Homo-oligomer: A and B are copies of this chain.
């Protein structure tokens, strides 16, 4: 890693306090007061306090991913995504992933593991998003949607989903993160002897 000569390391600000500005069902908007240690200046920044999120890559035995298509109120449009939602207080990401997958799609699988974790958005959100991979996902139950949820369930081969992602047909940044982290794992899964025999 090459550091520019003129470039000094940034300072770690100190949080002085938090003042709630507005509360909604999915996050609380806070004004946080921070002090710069060197300059001594104090400033307020807007931060959304939200529970962690989870998104699930559910791979079917046929090598397809389980997708959900729903109307989103931020964009005011339909969005093609992978299943996901909020992690409940005290819930493990793996458990939350399995729960959201089952509730939204009726699918369940095996060998669940966390592929990675990112920030919701380090500039404005204080939460994290976990990505869970589930293999051998099959439909085992009826869906159990939350109030207001209305979800079209779609399955498509991994290669097609990756092509859609890079062509702009998937626009949810966290869903794209899940696919980015999954892509090298998918290459590994395809090289497994059991899969080669099937192919």
Residues of B within 8 A of A128 (CB): 171
A13 touches B172 (CB 8 A): no
- A82 touches B (CB below 8 Å): no
Residues of B within 8 A of A174 (CB): 121, 173
Q: Which bracket fits the contact residues of A?
A: 35 or more
How many subunits of this chain does the assembly comprise?
Answer: 2
Residues of B within 8 A of A15 (CB): 76
B119 touches A71 (CB 8 A): no
Within 8 A of B (CB), among A4-49: 4, 6-13, 15, 21-22, 24-27, 29, 31-32, 34, 36, 43, 45-48
Q: List 15 A-B contacts (CB under 8 A).
A: A2-B64, A2-B154, A4-B154, A6-B143, A10-B150, A21-B21, A21-B22, A43-B148, A47-B73, A74-B121, A74-B124, A74-B126, A119-B172, A165-B180, A173-B176
